[in-house]
Amino acid sequence: MLKLNSVYTSYRNIEALKGISLEVGQGEIVAIIGSNGAGKSTMLNTISGILHPGQGTIVFLGKRVDNLAAHVIVDMGISQAPEGRRIFPQLTVIENLEMGAYARTVRSQKSEVRKELEKIFQYFPILKERLKQPGGTLSGGEQQMLAIARALMAQPKLLLLDEPSLGLAPIMVEKIFEIIKRINQEGMTILLVEQNANAALRLANKAYVLETGRVVMQGDAGALLKNPQLKAAYLGDG
Ligand code: ATP
């Protein structure tokens, strides 16, 4: 579904991605793990067209997307729930969700948007109870749910999640990861960026480990969980 081939992305003179190659297959959950500054967010922003690579190619469903504008990429079927739960704090929950569908409302029926909302409320029933509440007053976990729900409103084929566990209590991390699993089981392909390597590897089919802009390890997520080198560096034991 998605293929990055030797992608380089820089911020002025800082080279944040130094030749990243990776593949995401239809129906998979692929995890990208790595510590602060490894280039994980840069990678997602390069896929979603917020940044453009200086070198390399990104192919989505057989088409080059690395030079396309972000809104065109959303329209093609890639939607990102950004790091830090960047919802619109002054807008209510329902307004945030409607913003997620904005790219589609121009060409789709309101009834279809309503149908999508109902589907999303099955994943996140708490959001249905908070429709009129300003997004900024939701708890951290609820804001994370809203960010994921908003991304789903664009009806993507590929969902990009940037550190959904960030700043959440373990019980909430468990809950969010359960929902991500369910979204995947119902057919969504997911590329998941995480510092919480343990949780991410338990959920994913395969994973890539990023260090200072390079892929240093990759493979089956179950095998990586048992890898002594990875355990020592990212799983806090070994
Ligand atoms: P974290 O988990 O801490 O969010 P990350 O793996 O997502 O880290 P990035 O945010 O992609 O890492 O950062 C990769 C590198 O690019 C870092 O050295 C960072 O300082 C640099 N960087 C990120 N954004 C910018 C920017 N807007 N301008 C300049 N340098 C940047």
Q: Give the Å distances, CA to CA, from 143 to 34, 85, 189, 201.
A: 24, 6, 22, 23
Residue labelled with tokens 């900024």: 136
The Cα 20–Cα 227 span in angstroms is: 22
Mean pLDDT for the chain overall: 91
209 lines ligand 1 (CB under 6 A): no
Helix (H) or strand (E) holding 29: strand 29-33
Query: Which of 192, 197, 138 lies closest to 163 in space, CA to CA?
Result: 192
Contacts with 85 (C-beta within 8 Å, 6 or more apart), sequence order:
140, 143, 144, 146, 147, 166
Query: Which of 235, 160, 150 lies closest to 192 in space, CA to CA?
Result: 160
How far apart are the two ends of the chain, measured CA to CA in Å?
Answer: 35
Query: Which of 236, 238, 235, 170 lies closest to 31 in space, CA to CA?
Result: 235
What is the model's pLDDT at position 145?
A: 92
Q: What is the CA radius of gyration of the chain?
A: 17
Query: Which of 90, 100, 95 lies closest to 159 in space, CA to CA?
Result: 100
For residue range 35-55, what is the model confidence (pLDDT) as tens digits? 888 999 999 999 999 999 999
Ligand 1, residue 34: give the atom nearest the CA. 6
* 10-residue mean pLDDT series, the chain (238 residues): 98 94 98 92 96 97 96 93 82 92 66 86 94 93 92 94 90 91 96 93 96 95 90 68
CA of 21 to the centre of ligand 1 (A): 18
To test the pocket of ligand 1, the residue of 40, 83, 234 to mutate (highest count of ligand atoms within 8 Å of its CB) is: 40
169 Cα distance to chain centroid: 19
Ligand 1 atom 29: residue of nearest CA: 11
Question: What pTM, to 2 d.p., does this model score?
Answer: 0.93
Compute the C-alpha angle 31/124/196, nearest 5°: 25
What is the model's pLDDT at position 3?
A: 98
CA of 10 to the centre of ligand 1 (A): 10
The Cα 194–Cα 221 span in angstroms is: 13
What is the model's pLDDT at position 220?
A: 96
16 lines ligand 1 (CB under 6 A): yes
143 lines ligand 1 (CB under 6 A): no
What is the model's pLDDT at position 133?
A: 95
What is the model's pLDDT at position 107?
A: 55
For residue range 61-72, what is the model confidence (pLDDT) as tens digits? 999 999 999 999
Helix (H) or strand (E) holding 2: strand 2-11
CA of 13 to the centre of ligand 1 (A): 13
